Structure 1
């Protein structure tokens, strides 16, 4: 699947059209292509500021957002690459705190796409090569790098000596890629997922993790031991809990009482604590306690339980009802949404790619759903309303779905795909920055 992108800048769009034409040969795994591409660009990944490398099924992007906010609150310049983008491709490459400009992006993509001639790189490999090329050119204090898919064979895994690695929440997702039969890999699904994520561990680089079921924990411990990587695991090496007034964190370095995240959802406290653990268990980047607290307060991560601000789309429905936007599409994300909306009634507008399980969202939210409207995900093959059950109705798009809801004041949750979330933000005129 390609992550389609468009731009209002003709020079950028010309290169995005070239990106969209790329394809990955069936069955190709490994880092040989990205390494060859980076070699043609002068191996920029070997000249980066200290790297914080984050994997996980859910929460890795939020952890990156907390890290960036903490580091910037400390006065440091931060490069960051995350995926996918929601509205603009530029969101994938943040240079010293700012999204890459169109003036820089167009020639950068020309350079990388031309360098890839004959290598048949993928959309994501070109993107990561472009990000690393710019990160090596523009001065900064630290790089925050989110794994795209898995870890072991992800294009970001060319990083040789990160300052620290982290693994966020684990769950079953991208089964076609991450659970494909392979000799010598774990047979238990969650253990295999942990094995793939732990592939980012490097010798001598610290690894901060959450706590996991025994089969997943064993794979992560095995990877850390094999790489000689110091392991800081929640529940053993660091601890966190929340009260009504704060996030309580403790490890061998002492205790911290930090503010609760502004980002909605109880799970965000865990992501913030993982960012703290990652910073406190490495020796390359120093961040003050005050900056950690400020970062937790100010971190922003669009389309993850985001309250939709007034805009073009918001005015299409009732201006009085809350509209929530979340890109969740797997069972772990569905469970987080179920916990957040427990005891509350809502109207669910969902668009989900056909490779995903509709029950991942509808089952955890079953007791909350007052109505269920299914919309297409533009540019992608997606599930029809019929697979969501007899009570689901279809709408051609989100504005139509909002317009026909009863005027009952109940909140609305738009979910099922980050691609759909990006379309909602675009229609509303509230672009991530």
Structure 2
């Protein structure tokens, strides 16, 4: 990264103020809340996230007057071509060269702030070239990508804490004691002030509202638009971050508008229109979530349990996963909650065969079968004569979620 950025004239030194976000789960949702609140306050916001679901352009959002827009094809192509030419055939990964292109684009356009999401880990991530962000954020840390980050929470947390910078405030979502201890040690070495969820700030759901509290006082807020109890922590992390940055003052009304308008596809997203949604008969519900690790599954299962308390329905999971994910750890969260699993293939070379998903589901006590396509899976889910009509969740992979959104055709991304 240092080599190609030098050849590009160091765009990482010409960026707007950066908020750098790492974590295992909740990065994208926290960034979505940050963006929505900042834009409601009138700030111009660049955003870098990954992976994309349907189009690569989703990864790069450029500030424009009144709102942001996804980078256009021509501008993206030009930036990538520039990076390819200056890289001159030297070894470089896909994520490194595309991150370089994103930084080049962000440096070319004025904005008030850049929300920069880590791709993988943090310490050695391609985004970790910004020496002086205005804040760093670490969302929930759990097991994922152990082949790169290590097989203990402490090792994974060490990689995530690699984004902390000397004296730069760090906002930390609620963590396990093991992860938090690692972050605190790194912050102490760097004299980075911490604002820790559950200690320096709290967020509490109460009926139809959310209560946020920190050293600056209490805020009574509406329930976040993004569904699930885990989104309260993500919204709280975003609010705590902005209340730690005097250079980005936001009003309470902007916070309220932001958390009730934030959108982030394939995170407990209800599909009610489009080609895939129309395959589900009237009365049934169709949901989509890209969760793919045990903690992500736990969050989704909690959201589904909340739905079930309000409106009890049989739950059917349509699941596709990659082979490097903990399928059993993910599905264990739904034992006793799901009435069936229907496994489907994911169109990736590293996909876990659907037959193996079936075996894993049956081993933990969930009836399971496999189908060759999403069309067949939804037909099987809705032909069981269940009363009331079922709640169907498509889950297990962001790649699968992207396939579904592309096939659904509405809303476009």
Global fold match (TM > 0.5)? yes
State the match for 2:160 in structure 1.
197
Q: Are 1:378 and 2:347 an aligned pair?
A: yes
Contact (CA 8 Å) 2:36, 2:261: kept in 1 or not?
yes
Within the candidate set 126, 141, 148, 2:97 is matched to 126
State the match for 1:363 in structure 2.
332
Contact (CA 8 Å) 1:329, 1:360: kept in 2 or not?
no
SS in 2 for 1:404: helix
State the match for 1:150 in structure 2.
121
Tell me how far apart the structure 2 counterparts of residues 222 and 119 of structure 1 sit (CA, whole Å). Answer: 37
Contact (CA 8 Å) 1:374, 1:393: kept in 2 or not?
yes
Q: Give the C-alpha shift of residue 282 in structure 1.
A: 2.2
State the match for 2:75 in structure 1.
104
Within the candidate set 317, 322, 335, 1:353 is matched to 322
State the match for 2:288 in structure 1.
325
State the match for 1:76 in structure 2.
43
State the match for 1:89 in structure 2.
56
Q: Are 1:262 and 2:219 an aligned pair?
A: no
State the match for 1:5 in structure 2.
none
Greater alpha carbon shift after TM alignment, 231-240 vs 338-347? 338-347
State the match for 1:311 in structure 2.
274
Tell me how far apart the structure 1 counterparts of residues 24 and 166 of structure 2 sit (CA, whole Å). Answer: 23
Residues matched between the structures, number: 392
Q: CA separation of 1:431/1:123 partners in 2, compared to 1, >3 Å: closer, same or farther?
A: farther
Q: Give the C-alpha shift of residue 48 in structure 1.
A: 0.6
Structure 1: state its 5+ residue gaps.
Answer: 1-33, 181-188
Contact (CA 8 Å) 2:274, 2:411: kept in 1 or not?
no
Tell me how far apart the structure 2 counterparts of residues 373 and 235 of structure 1 sit (CA, whole Å). Answer: 38
Q: Give the C-alpha shift of residue 431 in structure 1.
A: 4.9
SS in 2 for 1:128: helix
Within the candidate set 412, 423, 428, 2:392 is matched to 412
Within the candidate set 376, 379, 391, 1:403 is matched to 379
State the match for 2:85 in structure 1.
114
Tell me how far apart the structure 2 counterparts of residues 395 and 114 of structure 1 sit (CA, whole Å). Answer: 45
Greater alpha carbon shift after TM alignment, 233-242 vs 34-43? 233-242
SS in 2 for 1:297: helix
Tell me how far apart the structure 2 counterparts of residues 431 and 156 of structure 1 sit (CA, whole Å). Answer: 30
Tell me how far apart the structure 2 counterparts of residues 162 and 251 of structure 1 sit (CA, whole Å). Answer: 22
State the match for 2:369 in structure 1.
393
Q: Give the C-alpha shift of residue 361 in structure 1.
A: 2.6
Greater alpha carbon shift after TM alignment, 208-217 vs 122-131? 208-217
State the match for 2:11 in structure 1.
44
Q: Are 1:290 and 2:261 an aligned pair?
A: no
Deviations 1:262-283 (A, max 9, x none): 1110110110000011111123
Tell me how far apart the structure 2 counterparts of residues 250 and 213 of structure 1 sit (CA, whole Å). Answer: 21
Structure 2: state its 5+ residue gaps.
Answer: none
The root-mean-square deviation of aligned C-alpha atoms, in Å, is 1.4
Contact (CA 8 Å) 1:317, 1:399: kept in 2 or not?
no
Deviations 1:338-396 (A, max 9, x none): 21222553111000001112113321111122221111111332222332324422211
Q: Give the C-alpha shift of residue 404 in structure 1.
A: 2.3
Tell me how far apart the structure 2 counterparts of residues 36 and 142 of structure 1 sit (CA, whole Å). Answer: 25
TM-score normalised by the chain length of structure 1: 0.88
Q: Give the C-alpha shift of residue 60 in structure 1.
A: 0.8
